[in-house]
């Protein structure tokens, strides 16, 4: 585990790809963190990095107020990889020259490298790279040589082998640079000397140790939703402190079919975690009776959840920590390029407000991880695939999928249709190709015919989208035969639905949920 805490630090100059850079480093099994470019050399030194990466960014080095790092970073004796703007910073700050390119270079380019540069070991030449820049390096800084070029950029890659400074004008982190991963592997292993220390196995062991040290003999409360993040957090904390952890699962009556049963089976029967299941369906549905406005639904559901959770927690006696499944993207989202490392951290939307009111310390053991890493960790901890690879599910649950008035009958209808939809998607082997699949029950009735009888029943809309972060999404192109089977099954097996629609709206303009 030596070295797991010696990160490759990504200095963020406002790049849209900083997150991707950090992920690539982790895919190469080295720990990485993103910090704003404003970080001081002292703060950086305290992080004991094994190397630095200067990200791209939208600015030009000549622009007034262009983001510049503390120049002391070049004297730390650390290997540095510059990417796009990061490379221009090398030239600009170390005595070379950057100028506006005659032609903006944007898109795919053919990159050739000839010299034996450790950064490109094992890389084909020529190879495809992805460019996106308006400025380019015109005069190399002292000590640097050109180690690769494209048609438009004679200095598409530059290196100072003695100081272990490397710069590429292209973006190795994006998929359009197909051999980009090799560049990160070379930088991380051959240049920074990181071992393969960042695996979820070693992270898990280290996290267990840290949780034990922090929690000591104290008690931890966890709001378990059954989603990936809170489930993995609970399993990890349980491994660390066993019965000092108590999980509270609130059945708000807005959950998927058999959800409470699944949570009980996994956490109580399999893991033997102290689990309190609260049946609060009546309370939630009572508060939601007659409410149709989406934001009002959300507020009510959030408010009742806090009341119920607090009441249950009080019954459990004194607790010291509240566990949350906050992930790294939530943490970095709040660290803008111009903010400081101490900028505020977004609180988890499902249980926001709880820690302040209940005077609990937060325990967030996943706050360094990306979602796919959390899934791997979950598997390592023995959680079933049904939990670790499941689609996201909103905190307000089916409340925001039961468009119009929420009644138990309509929720049961929705649950049945949703179960068929998900089952068919799983059976067809496409569940993991889809970001999220959901059914919405619409406040519309339609005329149909079943047997010899006319029907006048509810209409549901299926939605399945692909996405990488839920910010944008596209509808999933189902095999029409699969759609046909799903629609047939829903109309035949769900008594109150006689018409099924498929939603082909992307996001934007539509959101993923209907409400
Ligand atoms: P939208 O509908 O905004 O959803 O495109 C983006 C992602 O967020 C989820 N979502 C929520 N999650 N509380 C949550 O915990 C909410 O109120 C909420 N609303 C939407 C949605 O399922 C999708 O994954």
pLDDT tens by residue, 59-82 = 899 888 999 999 999 999 999 999
Average pLDDT over residues 383-402: 96
Q: Which of 159-163, 297-301, 343-347, 505-509 has the lowest mean pLDDT?
A: 343-347
Other beta carbons less than 10 A from residue 489's beta carbon? 16
Q: How far apart are CA 153 and CA 130, in angstroms?
A: 12
Which residue's CA is the nearest one to ligand 1's atom 22?
A: 394
DSSP at 191: I
CA 355 to chain centroid, in Å, comes to 23
- Between these two residues, 14 and 335, which has the higher pLDDT value? 14
The closest of 506, 153, 228 to 383, measured between CA atoms, is: 228
Instruction: List C-alpha distances in Å: 320 to 211, 215, 216.
Output: 13, 9, 11
Provide the greatest CA pair distance for the chain: 87
The pLDDT value recorded for residue 342 is: 30
Distance CA(55)–CA(160), nearest Å, equals 18
Backbone angles phi, psi at 27, to 5 degrees: -65, -25
pLDDT at res. 341:
32
Q: Report the number of secondary-structure helices (H) and strands (E) in the chain.
A: 15, 18
Residue 396 has phi, psi (to 5 degrees) of -75, 0
What does the pLDDT look like over 77-123, one tens digit per residue? 999 999 999 999 999 999 999 988 777 778 999 999 988 999 999 99
Q: Which of 184, 197, 199 is nearest to 22 (CA)?
A: 184
Can you tell me whether residue 137 is helix, strand or coil?
strand
Under the banding of pLDDT at 50, 70 and 90, the label for residue 335 is low
Contact 33, 7 (CB under 8 A): yes
Q: What H or E segment, with its residue span, contains residue 130?
A: strand 127-139
Look at residue 29 and tell me whether its pLDDT is greater than 70: yes
Per-residue pLDDT, averaged over 187-196, amounts to: 96
pLDDT at 2 over 60: no
Rounded Cα distance, 287 and 235, in Å:
32
Question: What is the distance in angstroms between the CA of the first residue and the CA of the last residue of the chain?
Answer: 46
Distance 513 CA to ligand 1 centre (A): 6
Q: Which secondary structure element, helix H or strand E, spans residue 27, and what is its range?
A: helix 18-27
Mutational test site, ligand 1, from 299, 394, 461, 474, max ligand atoms within 8 Å of CB: 394
Q: Kindly state the helix (H) or strand (E) to which residue 160 belongs, with its residue range.
A: strand 157-160
pLDDT of residue 353: 58
| Among candidate residues 507, 207, 251, the one with its CA nearest the CA of residue 369 | 207
**What would the mean pLDDT of 246-252 be, rounded to a whole number?**
98
Sorting pLDDT into bands at 50, 70 and 90, what band is 359?
confident
In angstroms, the CA 30 to CA 48 distance is 14
Closest C-alpha among 91, 226, 212 to residue 154:
91
The rounded Å distance from CA 82 to ligand 1 centre is 36
Output phi, psi for 458, to 5 deg.
-80, 160
Q: Helix (H, G, I), strand (E, B), or coil: what is residue 370? A: coil
**169-195 mean pLDDT:** 96
Give pLDDT, residue 345: 28
Rounded-to-integer distance, Cα 302 and Cα 284, Å:
10
Q: State the average pLDDT over residues 319-330.
A: 92
CA dihedral of residues 489, 494, 496, 497 (deg, nearest 10) = -30
Q: What pLDDT does residue 3 have? A: 59
322 contacts: CB under 8 Å, gap ≥ 6: 220, 221, 222, 223, 351, 354, 355, 358, 360, 361, 362, 363
- Residue 414 has phi, psi (to 5 degrees) of -65, -45
Residue carrying structure tokens 């939601």? 288
Whether residue 340 is predicted with pLDDT greater than 60 in this model: the reply is: no
Q: What mean pLDDT value characterizes the chain?
A: 92
C-alpha angle 218-222-226 in degrees, rounded to nearest 5? 155
Q: Is 62 known to be catalytic?
A: no
Can you read off the two tokens belonging to residue 84? 């796009």
**Residue from 513, 514, 515 whose mutation best tests the ligand 1 pocket (most atoms within 8 A of CB):** 513
Residue 311: both structure tokens together = 């009441």
The Cα–Cα gap between 8 and 32 comes to 5
| Strand residue runs (E) in 161-310 | 165-168, 220-223, 245-251, 274-279
Of 374, 418, 381, give the one whose Cα is nearest residue 267: 381
How far, in whole angstroms, is CA 285 from its chain's centroid? 31
pLDDT of residue 407: 98
Question: Strand, helix or coil at 442?
Answer: strand
pLDDT digits (tens, 9 = 90+) for 152-181: 889 999 999 999 999 999 999 999 999 999
Q: State what percent of residues in the chain have pLDDT above 90.
A: 84
Active site residue 84: yes
Report DSSP state, residue 392. P
Structural contact between residues 10 and 53, judged by C-beta atoms closer than 8 angstroms = yes
Q: Which residues line ligand 1 (CB under 6 A)?
A: 298, 349-350, 392, 394-396, 436, 470, 507, 511-513
Res 377: pLDDT: 98
What is the bridge-based pairing of β-strands 51-54 and 8-12?
parallel
Ligand 1 mutation pick, 301, 512, 514, max ligand atoms within 8 A of CB: 512
Considering only CA atoms, which of 93, 90, 62 is closest in space to residue 169? 90
Q: Which atom of ligand 1 is nearest to the CA of 513?
A: 2
Q: Are 75 and 45 within 8 A, CB to CB?
A: no
Task: Output the DSSP codes for 202-241.
Answer: HHHHHHHHHHHHHHTT--EEEE--SSHHHHHHHHHHHHHH
Shortest-distance atom of ligand 1 to CA 436: 24
Q: Cβ(177)–Cβ(92) under 8 Å?
A: no
Nearest atom within ligand 1 for CA of residue 467: 24
SS3 475: strand
Residue located nearest, by CA, to atom 6 of ligand 1: 470
Q: Give residue 397 CA to ligand 1 midpoint distance, Å.
A: 9
Active-site choice (92, 149, 171, 348): 171
Tokens 């609990």 belong to which residue?
Answer: 360
* Phi, psi for 411 (deg, rounded to 5): -65, -40
Annotated active-site residue in 92, 117, 149, 173: 173
- Over residues 280-300, the mean pLDDT reads 97
What is the C-alpha to C-alpha distance for residues 158 and 111, in angstroms, rounded to an integer?
Answer: 13
pLDDT (average), residues 462-486: 95
DSSP H helices in 28-131: 41-46, 85-93
Q: Give the mean pLDDT of 457-475.
A: 94
Predicted confidence at residue 338, as pLDDT, reads 39
Lowest-pLDDT range of 15-24, 256-265, 432-441: 15-24
């Amino acid at each position: 585990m030596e070295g797991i805490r010696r990160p490759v630090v990504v200095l963020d100059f406002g790049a849209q790809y900083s997150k991707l850079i950090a992920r690539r480093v982790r895919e190469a099994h080295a720990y990485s963190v993103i910090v704003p470019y404003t970080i001081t050399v002292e703060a950086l030194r305290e992080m004991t990095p094994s190397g630095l990466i200067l990200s791209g960014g939208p600015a030009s080095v000549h622009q007034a107020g262009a983001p510049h790092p503390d120049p002391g970073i070049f004297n730390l004796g650390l290997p540095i990889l510059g990417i796009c703007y990061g490379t221009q910073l090398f030239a600009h700050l170390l005595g070379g020259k950057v100028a506006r390119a005659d032609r903006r270079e944007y898109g795919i380019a053919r990159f050739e490298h000839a010299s034996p540069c450790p950064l490109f070991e094992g890389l084909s030449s020529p190879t495809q790279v992805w460019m996106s820049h308006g400025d380019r390096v015109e005069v190399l800084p002292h000590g640097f040589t050109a180690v690769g070029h494209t048609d438009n950029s004679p200095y598409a890659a530059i290196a100072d082998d003695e100081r272990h400074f490397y710069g590429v004008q292209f973006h190795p982190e994006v998929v359009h640079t197909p051999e980009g991963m090799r560049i990160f592997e070379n930088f991380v292993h051959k240049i920074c000397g990181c071992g393969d220390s960042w695996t979820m196995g070693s992270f898990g062991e280290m996290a267990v140790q840290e949780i034990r040290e922090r929690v000591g003999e104290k008690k931890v409360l966890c709001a378990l939703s059954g989603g990936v993040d809170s489930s993995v957090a609970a399993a990890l904390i349980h491994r660390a402190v066993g019965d000092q952890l108590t999980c509270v699962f609130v059945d708000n009556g807005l959950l998927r079919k058999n959800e409470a049963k699944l949570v009980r089976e996994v956490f109580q029967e399999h893991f033997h975690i102290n689990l309190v299941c609260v049946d609060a369906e009546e309370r939630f549905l009572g508060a939601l009776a007659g409410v149709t406005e989406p934001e009002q639904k959300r507020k009510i559901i959030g408010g009742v959840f806090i009341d119920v959770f607090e009441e249950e927690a009080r019954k459990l006696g004194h607790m010291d920590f509240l566990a949350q499944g906050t992930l790294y993207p939530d943490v970095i989202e709040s660290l803008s390029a111009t903010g400081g490392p101490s900028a505020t951290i977004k609180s988890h939307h499902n249980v926001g407000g709880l820690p302040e009111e209940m005077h609990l310390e937060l325990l967030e053991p996943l706050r360094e991880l990306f979602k796919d890493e959390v899934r791997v960790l979950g598997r390592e901890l023995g959680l079933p695939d049904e939990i670790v690879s499941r689609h996201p599910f909103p905190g307000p649950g089916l409340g925001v999928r039961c468009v119009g008035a929420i009644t138990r009958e309509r929720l049961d209808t929705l649950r049945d249709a949703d179960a068929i939809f998900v089952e068919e998607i799983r059976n067809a082997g496409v569940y993991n190709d889809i970001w999220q699949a959901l059914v919405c029950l619409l406040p519309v009735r339609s005329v149909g015919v079943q047997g010899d009888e006319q029907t006048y029943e509810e209409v549901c809309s299926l939605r399945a989208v692909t996405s990488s972060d839920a910010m944008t999404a596209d509808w999933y192109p189902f095999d029409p035969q699969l759609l046909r089977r799903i629609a047939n099954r829903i109309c035949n097996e769900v008594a109150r639905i006689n018409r099924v629609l498929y939603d082909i709206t992307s996001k934007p303009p539509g959101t993923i949920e209907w409400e």
